[in-house]
Structure 1
Amino acid sequence: MNDDVRNIVLGMAAAGLSAALGWLARTCLWNRRLRRKQAFFGLPDNSESVLVVNRDAGSPDLAVHRYDVFALLELSALIKECGANADVITQDAARQGFGERTEFCVGGPGSNRRMAAHMRAMLPGMRVNVDSEPGPDRLAFQIGSERYRLEKGVGEYVVLARLTTGQPGRARPVFLFCGQTAITNQAAARYLYRHHERLARKHGNSTFVLLLKVVNSQAYGPDVTELVADVTRAAQAPLPTTAPARSSHRAP
């Protein structure tokens, strides 16, 4: 074997080894990211999860708003990426205990009794004004001493929460998508899908409650979403005994 042939063989071997090492590194990195994602969502391989859907508050029938359907589709894609399975059940058929399976609960307490139960049990410092009478405080959020009013199509609020029982590895998390309108539920699901890695780095696998604002949904749909505040502490503490101020937070 002359020098030219030997150099060609050595070059091909080096290229093959580099490709193999690169593939191995990418595979290890992909597996590591997948495990972190599965841990954050409580969705190991072949595990079961449940999507709890609300009813359309504006419909006399047991219909689901189309934006809530879009939210379920985005969450279903996320679940499949984790290698898990999902069941879709209506809010009045949810009977499982807290943490038995990873749960994604969509809709406000006025249209989803499961959401109302979670809020009473885990978020005593948060209230949603579900009064059907028109007025500036209809569907307003009260979180601690602050009130966040709805400006439909301009500035709409949604709470995105990850709730746990404080027993790592023993209970699955519950994710809440509690919005003032259906489009904000989809916006929160999309926000979680896009930012779950950053949220996992910041919060780990612990409880968090985030207040988001969907800006100008009449023009941009669910795509322009801002993080208003981390309201975990306020939402988990009892509501103040004094009445909150009448001021509201409005979109600029």
Structure 2
Amino acid sequence: MTDDVRNIVLGVIAAGISASLGWLTRSHLWRRRLRRKQAFLGLPGNSECLLVVNRDPGTDGAVHRNDVFALLELSALVKDCSAHAQIVSHDGARQGFGERTEFCVGGPGSNRRMAAHLQSLLPGVKINVDPEPGPDRSAFQVGSERYRLEAGSAEYVLLARLTGGQDARPVFLFCGQRAITNQAASRYLARHHERLMRKYRNSSFVLLLKVVNSQAYGPDVVELVGDVTRTAQAPLPTPVPTSHRAAG
């Protein structure tokens, strides 16, 4: 074997070894990233989760199209984790909290399961579900702050990851003032889950998001108003009674 042939053979072998090492490294990093994603979402391989959906109160039991889009966003996350999803109606979910990972979509006015989660897990959140028109219709109260709905202009949604213990599976809440805000929150989770995972790891969090000008931009323009975890998990402040002195 001449020196030229030997150099060519050695070069091919070195290139093959480098390619194999690169593939192994990428595979290792991909598997590690997948395990972290599965842990954050509570979706180990071949596990099952619930997608709890509300019903559009303005229709005969149908699911709003934006909530369908939200379910599609979440289904993609579930599939990426090699897990399986079961879609159930809000009045058909009968399991306890933490048995399986749960993604709950819709406000308390159209989702009984969401209303139960808010009452049990987020006592510092109050949502006006009065169907009568008025400035406070669908308004959020988080602690002492109030966030009113401005349809198509400024709309709010809570995105929460809540756990009941170290070994309990999380429940994710997508609780918006309108269906399009539910879709915006699910898309926010899909796009930013790695950043949220790095910041919160497996801890609970409650984020208040603002959907800006949805009539023009749909669910795509979302601002983070703030992390309201502590406020949402603490009881609402007790209003101080006002005393009125009789005129004399």
The alignment's TM-score, normalised by the length of structure 2, stands at: 0.96
Give the distance between the partners of 2:150 and 2:200, measured in 1 at CA. Answer: 30
- What are the ranges of 5 or more consecutive residues in structure 1 without an aligned counterpart? 244-252
Question: Could you report, residue by residue, the CA deviation over 1:119-171 in whole angstroms, capped at 9, with x for unpaired residues?
Answer: 00000000100111101110000000000000000000000000001x22x21
Q: In the alignment, which residue of structure 2 is the partner of 1:35?
A: 35
| Alignment match of 2:173 (pick from 172, 176, 186) | 176
Q: Which residue of 2 aligns with 1:194?
A: 191
Partner of 2:108: 109
User: What letter is aligned with 1:111?
Assistant: S
> Which of these residues, 229, 233, 236, is aligned with residue 230 of structure 2?
233
Question: What SS class does the counterpart of residue 52 from structure 1 fall into?
Answer: strand
User: How much has 1:183 moved relative to structure 2?
Assistant: 0.2
Look up the SS of the partner of 1:95 in the other structure: coil
Query: 1-side partners of 2:234 and 2:168: how far apart?
Result: 22
Q: SS at 2:88's partner residue?
A: strand
Tell me the secondary structure at the aligned position of residue 88 of structure 1: strand
AA partner of residue 219 (structure 2): P
The residue type paired with residue 189 of structure 1 is S
Q: Within 5 Å, which residues of 2 pair with 1:81-100?
A: 81-100=80-99
1:57 equivalent in structure 2:
57
Query: Is 2:220 the counterpart of 1:223?
Result: yes
> Aligned-pair distance for 1:224?
0.5
Query: Partner of 1:16 in structure 2?
Result: 16
Alpha-carbon displacement from aligned partner over 1:47-100 (angstroms, at most 9, x marks no partner): 0000000000222x1110000000001100110000000000000001000011
Letter in 2 for 1:46: N
User: What corresponds to 2:204 in structure 1?
Assistant: 207
Q: Which residue in 1 is equivalent to 2:26?
A: 26
Match of 2:243 in 1: none
TM-score, length-scaled by structure 1: 0.94
In structure 2, the residue matched to 1:164 is 163
Partner of 1:248: none
Cα RMSD between the aligned structures? 0.7
Tell me which residue corresponds to 2:245.
Answer: none
- Counterpart of 1:86 in 2: which secondary structure? strand
Secondary structure class of the residue paired with 1:152: coil
Shift in Å at residue 232 of structure 1?
0.2
User: Aligned residues, how many?
Assistant: 240
2:116 partner letter? A
Among all aligned residue pairs of Structure 1 and Structure 2, give the percentage whose two residues are the same amino acid: 76
- The residue number in structure 1 matching 2:46 is 46
Tell me the equivalent position of 2:66.
67
Asked if residue 140 in structure 1 is aligned to residue 114 in structure 2, the reply is: no
